[in-house]
Structure 1
Amino acid sequence: MARNMSPDEYQELGRRYYKLKQYDKAVEAFTQGIEAFPTVSLYDHRAATYDKLEDFNAAIKDGRDMIRLDKKNVKGYLRTASVLEKIKKPETALGIYKYGMKNVPVGENNFELLQQLHNKLTRKLSPAQAIDPFTVLPIELAEMVLEYISFRHMVNCMRVSRGWRDYLSQRPKLWLHLDLSGARKPVPRSFVNMAFKRSESRMTRVTVHRFEHMDMLKNLAKAAKHLTELEFISVPHTMSSTLVDIVKSGPSLRKFVVHPEITLNTATTIVSNRPGFEQVTLNGVKFSNYQAVWQGPFPDMKTFTMQLVDSMSAYQISLTDLLSQAPSLESITLSNLSNLNEPMGWPEDLAQLPPLTSIVLKRVFCTFIPVLPPTLQKLVIEHNGMRLLDGIKASLLRARVPELTHLTLSGFSALSADRLDEFLDSCVVEGSVLELRDAKPLKYLTIRGLLRNGDGDTGLFKGPGSLLGRSPRILTRALETLDIATMPCNDDEIEHLLTYETGLTSIDLSCTNITGASLKMLADKLPTLKTIKADNCPKINGRDAIHYAERKGISVSCQMGEQKGSRRIRYA
């Protein structure tokens, strides 16, 4: 065969062999033409020849090569899909048809044929008759499935068909939680009324949003004898008296959450009128010229959260009164408080404290650590940046927290390794300083803010006087999460951290002076590590260390904030 033949001549020669059913010679001719100059037509003819030889894999390969050569040419899609259908792979063929309809111009020759074949195969793969799943699934199983979708999506499902609407409306269990949090428009009275009827008056939870008819909620709270949880995401306007009336009307209420702003007077009135509350969350309490009066007792209260809009004195809140009347209180969260050490601000006697396991104090101003119960397991203090006075030593020594496993301290200065060690490992008993024995090691630790001692900078892990290396409760195998963002930390400190045996799964090193070397050291020497957060670390200037840690199976967040004249960079 002459070497100077053109692709068209090779194609014509192959076609002659094909007509004579000499398929091997046809394949050879088409192959030589492709080697000289590949075209869609040559691949198409060779694929047809392979089809005759029943070499379907080779035919499919040529069809895919046609698509890669020219995505807008319909021949490659038709050839590939037809062979796939022949070898009983209709789902894959349907995917080829779909891909072709995305790439081939509508006005192209044979586009309609491509569309017809796609529709024909779709009908073939579709079941002969659609089956409503609710007609074949047991009721118990269907209800379990529906529990995984939101209330808003369940309401949307009622628009699918009359059968779905009737089915869902007749399942009282699905209407026990009236959740309006996903409402995009004002909710009419008729919807709430119908939802209550569908629950057969057994509604247990109500989440209110975009609903203006507070009088109806009052009636609902009275009629729903099993209503235990009530949450307000929004209210139409200031309706303090109405909220109080709604609470009074619900004899079984145990959990109350309100996100809109209310006055301190309203807050205390709400809590005092329902002493059976177990959980109270007030996320927007406003300042008022009023000293709180908690009219208890509150024997069942276990969780209390109060986020103050404006800074208020702890004296005004009368925390001592509240805590002394809640003997079962386990968790308390307060924000925007000042003067925690004043009388009535926080109990000065352990006997006045309930058995708290969690204390969260955010954006607070205090000169002493408040008295802490020995039952405490979680402590969060986010200080407003006040320098702790010399009296801090006495308040730290007063603390006896052997059960503490979660600790967050931020915004403090003048907190040294000695002070932290005294807080975690010592206590005063009858005027004598004793070491705590059998105290639980920390599992979660967050230390933020520049902490200094009287002699200058305190190392985090380096040296016998290091801030986190002195206490035997910190750097242990029990430690799972460590957050030292904004602290004076560098590669040298990380190297010393790795000399301790810890069980770290997550570490936050944001806004520190580490480099990529720290990421590699952590990835190599901490087999339990799953997450590294290193945002806004100016000395990390490449991706190599990030990719190295990710190859070890570690998720790395390394973002650089926007700077003047520069773009935001996201390394991982």
Structure 2
Amino acid sequence: MARTMSTEEYQDLGKSYYKQKQYEKAVKAFTTGIEAAVIPSVTLYDYRAASYEKLADFNAAVKDGRETIRLNKRDVRGYLRTASVLKKMNKLDIALNIYKYGLKNVPVDNKDFKLLQQLHDQLTRKLSPAKAVDPFTILPVELVEMIIGYLPFKNMVNCLRVSRGWKSYLTKRPKLWTNLDLSGAKKPVSRVFIRHAVDWAERGVTHLIVHRFQHTDVLRNIATTCKRLTDIEILSLPLMLSETLIEVAQCALHLKRLIIRHDISLDTATEILRRRPTLEHVEFTSITSIVPADGRPEWRGPFPCLHTLHMNGPPGGLNMSSLDVRPLLVQSPALRSFALSCCSGFLTHPESTILCERALTSLILKDVAFITFPRLPPTLKRLVLQSSRPLYLPRGPTMFRSHWEQASWNQAIQSYLPELTHLSLREMVDLTPEFFEALLDIYSDDNGGELKRIEEDQRTPLQHLSLAVLPHASSLFGAGGLLSSPRILTQSLTSLDIAALPCTDDDVEALLGHPTSLQSIDLSSTKVTGAGVKMLVDGLPGLRVLKVDNCRHISSRDAIAYAERKGVAVSCQMGDSFGGARKVRYG
């Protein structure tokens, strides 16, 4: 057909053929009109799509329908035509998505918007199950409680809004409400809801996590009426008064575990322990000040059940030079885990043996000013020591620069640690292989008698080692190196952190000469190159995490990409520590 007519004339001709049901001629007319137009109109594509639909050429019809949508997203015709054809092709899910896309783009005031909405709703109902079944009506009560029990408390509360039936069902299951967890609250929690929750639990609340709740009188009532309340964790509490915390601890007669992440004074902490001496697990994560005028809190015990005690000062460090926690440790014979952080003074003294007199399995001392290296108990399995100021260690059994270094050596040599599996030392100077040997491999009695070596069948290899120290050694992993102890580089070692230590590719090669099961390694701020990274990936089949932040000798991304292809998660951030250059993230 010669192009002797305008686009509008071809469009009218195609309509005429369509009305006469001559659909093939209509397609040809509309196609010629599209080819003749500088910018084809939506109408041409829509009519050609309709002609293709009549000819049962559904793929061509959908193609033209999508082109109609592309030309003008606000025109409803493209969505109606495309979805109609897709429904004939039995592609109902795709048709529903077309309707949804149209509802987002077509103006609400369009005269055909309601039609689009109706077709969308009809198809939605068609795709919905023929009959919705309430799972609560067919599942056993025990199974429902088990399923709901896996939900976070916030989600369980949301289930109350599903229907009256669900609310009635859930509120009649006391076991579901014994753990009141408000940690997911995004706005203040009302006292009415807490009162209802306690009633739904039939006053059998056992665990309580407080957040965004300011009604302290309700907390006191819960502590008094819920006789089985054993765990309380306070994340935040506006206008919290010391008296309230003390009263809550005193009223909860069976309270075993108390965690306060809200700011409290040291005087409040001591009073809580005095009023509830049967506590087993206590964490004060933000002790802000010392209230007593003389600065010396009184630990009035005993605390026969206390097995876990964690106390954290403020970031700047709580002045504990006048704080003596030795009476607290003396009155806690069952203590197994002790953590203290952010303190400018501490109890360690050459004559102090208080730590080794407790059967501690975990000892964490962070940002604490050590006078000497502490003497440690033989039951210890986890040890974290981080000095708030550099602690100088002796370089050997006879190389003492002060009587403090001699005291540190004696404390280390008298620490018998056969069960230690996790070790972290930070902010210590002149760490030598000899000191490591004194700490891990040999020991002597209290009288400084003959040195004895821990037998192989009596010692437990390390599983985790983290060092942020200034070493005094010729190498790290070689013979006579810093980490040459027989308890370190074994099959049990799964995690190693030696960031900022003088580690090179030669040290990496030496490390791979030992049989380890390393899964995580931190080599940040070392001299390792890309070749060292590849050696680690090839030599450690179990490696899963590798940190090489600020390793300036890694000159390209090739080694990082190689590690990623092997399934290793790599962290490689460059620039922040060296002149403020642009940060580059690999992995």
Alignment equivalent of 2:313, drawn from 308, 314, 317: 308
CA contact (8 A) 1:335 1:362 kept: yes
Alignment equivalent of 1:335, drawn from 341, 344, 351: 341
Flag the 1:115–1:524 CA change in 2: closer, same or farther, 3 A.
Answer: farther
Q: Does 1:162 align with 2:158?
A: no
Equivalent in the alignment of 1:475: 489
The Cα offsets for residues 163-204 of structure 1, whole Å up to 9 and x where unpaired, read as 333333222122212223334444443333322222111111
Out of 273-282 and 213-222, give the one that drifted further. 213-222
Superposed CA RMSD: 4.2
Q: How many residues of Structure 1 are paired with residues of Structure 2 in the alignment?
A: 562
Q: Percent identity?
A: 47
CA contact (8 A) 1:159 1:165 kept: yes
Structure 2 CA distance for aligned equivalents of residues 534 and 72 of structure 1: 52
The Cα offsets for residues 307-338 of structure 1, whole Å up to 9 and x where unpaired, read as 1234344772332x333333322211111342
Equivalent in the alignment of 1:403: 419
Structure 1 CA distance for aligned equivalents of residues 70 and 83 of structure 2: 15
Flag the 1:93–1:460 CA change in 2: closer, same or farther, 3 A.
Answer: farther
Equivalent in the alignment of 2:388: 384
Partner amino acid, structure 2, of 1:324: V
Q: Does 1:466 align with 2:486?
A: no
Q: Does 1:363 align with 2:382?
A: no
Equivalent in the alignment of 2:401: none
- SS for the counterpart of 2:180 is strand
CA contact (8 A) 1:542 1:571 kept: no
Flag the 1:528–1:46 CA change in 2: closer, same or farther, 3 A.
Answer: farther
Equivalent in the alignment of 1:412: 428
Partner amino acid, structure 1, of 2:302: P
Structure 2 CA distance for aligned equivalents of residues 527 and 460 of structure 1: 22
- Tell me the CA shift for residue 373 of structure 1: 1.8
Equivalent in the alignment of 2:125: 123
Partner amino acid, structure 2, of 1:427: Y
CA contact (8 A) 1:47 1:59 kept: yes
Equivalent in the alignment of 2:573: 559
- Tell me the CA shift for residue 255 of structure 1: 0.6
Partner amino acid, structure 2, of 1:526: L
Equivalent in the alignment of 2:330: 324
Partner amino acid, structure 2, of 1:366: F
CA contact (8 A) 1:340 1:370 kept: no
Alignment equivalent of 2:304, drawn from 299, 323, 337: 299
Structure 2 CA distance for aligned equivalents of residues 8 and 420 of structure 1: 92
- Tell me the CA shift for residue 209 of structure 1: 2.9
Equivalent in the alignment of 1:199: 201
- Tell me the CA shift for residue 229 of structure 1: 1.0
Out of 329-338 and 184-193, give the one that drifted further. 184-193
CA contact (8 A) 2:295 2:322 kept: no
- Tell me the CA shift for residue 110 of structure 1: 7.4
The Cα offsets for residues 286-314 of structure 1, whole Å up to 9 and x where unpaired, read as 23534343333323222111112343447
The Cα offsets for residues 352-395 of structure 1, whole Å up to 9 and x where unpaired, read as 222x1111111112133222222211111111232324323222
Alignment of 1:131-146 (within 5 A): 131-146=133-148
CA contact (8 A) 2:432 2:471 kept: yes
- SS for the counterpart of 1:311 is coil
Partner amino acid, structure 2, of 1:534: V
- Tell me the CA shift for residue 528 of structure 1: 0.9
Equivalent in the alignment of 2:232: 230
Unaligned runs of 5+ in 2: 395-405
Structure 1 CA distance for aligned equivalents of residues 562 and 46 of structure 2: 45
Out of 102-111 and 433-442, give the one that drifted further. 102-111
CA contact (8 A) 1:416 1:458 kept: no
Alignment equivalent of 1:511, drawn from 500, 509, 525: 525
Flag the 1:555–1:565 CA change in 2: closer, same or farther, 3 A.
Answer: closer
Flag the 1:219–1:100 CA change in 2: closer, same or farther, 3 A.
Answer: closer
Q: Does 1:545 align with 2:565?
A: no
Structure 1 CA distance for aligned equivalents of residues 62 and 444 of structure 2: 82
CA contact (8 A) 1:367 1:386 kept: no
Flag the 1:280–1:478 CA change in 2: closer, same or farther, 3 A.
Answer: same
Structure 2 CA distance for aligned equivalents of residues 544 and 38 of structure 1: 49
Alignment equivalent of 1:452, drawn from 466, 471, 477: 471
Out of 124-133 and 321-330, give the one that drifted further. 124-133
TM-score by length of 2: 0.80
Flag the 1:118–1:525 CA change in 2: closer, same or farther, 3 A.
Answer: farther
Structure 1 CA distance for aligned equivalents of residues 10 and 426 of structure 2: 79
Equivalent in the alignment of 2:442: 426
- SS for the counterpart of 2:354 is coil
- Tell me the CA shift for residue 280 of structure 1: 0.7
Flag the 1:111–1:313 CA change in 2: closer, same or farther, 3 A.
Answer: closer
Structure 2 CA distance for aligned equivalents of residues 533 and 208 of structure 1: 37
Flag the 1:419–1:126 CA change in 2: closer, same or farther, 3 A.
Answer: same
Structure 1 CA distance for aligned equivalents of residues 194 and 351 of structure 2: 43
Equivalent in the alignment of 1:213: 215
The Cα offsets for residues 85-109 of structure 1, whole Å up to 9 and x where unpaired, read as 3343322332343345556777999
Equivalent in the alignment of 2:508: 494
Out of 55-64 and 559-568, give the one that drifted further. 55-64
Flag the 1:217–1:525 CA change in 2: closer, same or farther, 3 A.
Answer: same
CA contact (8 A) 2:23 2:51 kept: no
Structure 2 CA distance for aligned equivalents of residues 387 and 198 of structure 1: 56
Unaligned runs of 5+ in 1: none
Structure 2 CA distance for aligned equivalents of residues 90 and 482 of structure 1: 55
